[in-house]
Chains A and B, each alone.
Chain A
Amino acid sequence: MNLDFTREELDFRQEVEEFTRRELPPNWDNQIVFWPGGYGTIPIFETEFQEVAKEFSLKLSGKGWARLAWPEKYGGEASVMKAAIVGNVLSYNRAPAGGVASSIVAPSLILVASEELKKEFLPKIADGRAGFWLAYSEPNAGSDLAALKTTAVEDGDDYIINGQKIWSSGAHVTEYAWALVRTDPDAPAHKSATLIIIPNNASGVTIKPIVNICDIHSFNEVFFDDVRVPKKYVVGEVNQGFYNVMLALQFERLTIGSGSFRRVLDELIQYARENVRNGRPLSENNQVRRALVDMAIEIEIFENFYWQSVCMLEKGKVPEIEASALKLVFTELSVKLANTAVDILGPYGLLDKDSTRAPFGGRVGIGYLDSISGPIGAGTSEIQKSILATRGLGLPRQ
């Protein structure tokens, strides 16, 4: 047991911190309201931040930091630890980085895709030219993804795709769908789905905005009408899509902006020290002290889980149960942190991002709303608990 970072890792962290301070636009933090563990305030899914995000990810890839976890063969360093350090520092600074492409699509491609697909997409992902969105959910296929209806029918060298996806975060600001579709209407659901890449600019793709409760256009509904996609865009094997998506979901559940929780805690502590209520600094109020200590404890546990999963990946193990536990813990923590922040700020917690009086640029109020999405997205808390109980503890399925 050794919970220290190595000298080399600490130096690397320092380098990433300096880079981030230098390269982030000076006013960046005041423009965005990103809340840890939420899925509705991620700036890289918003149109207005695309320019900054693209510029920043080019600089990141210039450093080689977008592909640190990839095998050397594909230009990486095979270091999950270094990738996690980058993710940790960037998310502490709420930097516009770490999209679906680099954190979910790329590791999945590396594990299951053909060499041809890897050659085509990995370099584009590394320098931010190929952005992806996740096309899993449909109006009638949420937790029960196996109920999906979007079809792909063979036609010569192509597939013809028809159907609808929904809650498609970032579909309007990216280039490709990472889509789960049905390739065999007769087989049972788990043996009939295929993972395929669909270019957004293919004819027949229609993307319509949906505004979330934070008043942000981050997700969409997407319609596929006779969309023609070459067969070579199938990821992994045909009819093995479910298995491949489960793999990708593990990466998704680990993609969590690990540093962003501590950032909010640090800010709340500072706020409590600098603001007076009832004649005393908030930091001397016993309830505030307790609430912040409780948050510090939960963040400590979350970080332990996080680095533990990183160490597992570093050793070549795939954290399955661990990914579910981590996803459950950090999204529930997101809700508790938001509630704690609202309690501490009192009426100031209600102020919206346009209000000049809003502490933290309105992040707390919006964050409170966004924290609702954490335990819903990427597999609900209920689904995670069922995974832990059945796959982890071996309890009988219903």
Chain B
Amino acid sequence: MDFELNEDQRILQKSARDFLKKECPKDLVRNLADTDPGHSTELWQKIAALGWMGLLVPENYDGIGWSFVEQAVLLEEMGYALCPAPFISTTILGAQTLLMSGNEDQKRGILPNIVAGDLILTMALTESDGGCEPSALNLMAVREGDKWVLNGIKLFVPDALTADYILCVARTGDNSSPEKGLTIFLVKTKTKGVNIAPLKTISKDKQYEINFNNVCLKPENIIGPVAGAWPAINAIINMAGLARAAETVGVMRAVLEMTVAYAKERVQFGRPIGSFQAIQHYLADMWVDILGARSLVMKAAWKLATGRPSDKATGMAKIMVGKAGRKTTTTGHRIFGAISFTMEHDLHLYHRRSLANDPTLGNSDFHYEQIAAGLEL
């Protein structure tokens, strides 16, 4: 048994840290947060050049073919730097869905372009109910001759405005149970009838509402089995949720670091506030939460990487990290005091990111139920 990262993983960690420090400064993060679509093509191309988009893609599609452990290491660094990029959308929601369910033509047509940084993907899953349980997915795709016609509204779609393709989950029939009857469609964002409108969020992440209005698609736009996509969707929700948790661990680490530094330097009553026990104990709690959060993320990542059943582990990471991320950033504000309640200060950027990562891609209801089932409750 060995909990430590290996040499390659440590090199990846270090190089990602160095790269992001240089190429993803806080003013870039701020600028992108305040614009739409909030995407830097330049940064994206540099990331692609490092091979990050292909980390999880096998070599025969031009990727590196590493595992989710490396992906988690990388995501922690991206979270630490608050890297604003449609990375999870493209590499997990997009590339992993294709890898899991696409046919050879679809994979060959798209994956190498993702790896090269030329294509951005996302998935349209959630609807008005806000969750991602099968019963909440009801946008209809109806077969008319050799076409499929999509009608309905998707909400909380990440990165839709920058995306070249949207993987849209639609109901195509077989209503014997909510899990049955779901199909994934590959939709070019530019297709007629696809209307994208931003959802303004306090988390300042890039989420959109998409109105599918008589969108006509061909059978070759279907990814995976007709009316049998739920197992793949479920796997993707878990993977993407884990990816977000990994990112949040990085956010938490950054918050702890900056808060500890501040507590050593800010003087009140003639001494650093970090010498007050109330402050010390907050910081100790934050630290223990981070260690616990990372341990859950890495365990789930390792299970995914080694092909073990991982839904329970993933759900544990997503639930715990979601709560701990918010708690850590909130406590950070408490320790910084009023200065952190300003737009000028950076802490709110971290808080927004940890908040954004929590209720999306498997909210806690979804994961609680999944774990409860795993515990045979």
Which residues of A approach B to under 8 Å, CB–CB?
Answer: 1-6, 9, 81, 269, 272-273, 283, 288-290, 292-293, 296-297, 300-301, 304-305, 307-308, 310-311, 325, 328-329, 382, 384-386, 388-390, 392-398
Contacts and interface: CB of A to CB of B under 8 A. Distances in A.
A296 B316 contact: yes
Contact of A297 (B260, B274, B275, B316): B316
B291 interface: yes
A172 B283 CA distance: 41
Contacts, number: 132
Contact of B377 (A272, A308, A325, A395): A272
10 contacts: A1-B298, A2-B2, A3-B1, A3-B3, A289-B369, A300-B299, A304-B292, A311-B1, A325-B287, A382-B281
Contacts of B64: none
A308 B285 CA distance: 19
B375 interface: yes
Given A1-B6, A300-B316, A311-B2, 6 more contacts: A293-B319, A305-B292, A308-B3, A392-B287, A393-B283, A396-B274
Contact of B69 (A1, A81, A305): A1
| Chain A binding surface SS class | helix
Question: Taking each of A4, A9, A301, A308, which has the highest tally of chain B beta carbons within 10 Å of its own beta carbon?
Answer: A301
A342 to B, nearest CB: 19
A269 B295 contact: no
A39 B271 CA distance: 38
Interface in B235-283: 256, 260, 263-264, 271-272, 274-277, 279-281, 283
A288 B375 CA distance: 12
Interface residues of B, number: 44
B368 A1 contact: no
Contacts of B281: 382, 385-386, 389
Given A283-B377, A307-B1, A394 B260 contact: yes
Given A297-B320, A382-B281, A388-B284, A325 B291 contact: yes
A305 B295 contact: yes
Contact of B375 (A2, A292, A329, A386): A292
B28 to A, nearest CB: 29
Contacts of A386: 277, 280-281, 284
B32 interface: no
Nearest 8 A/B pairs, CB to CB: A389-B280, A304-B295, A385-B284, A388-B284, A301-B292, A395-B274, A396-B275, A385-B281
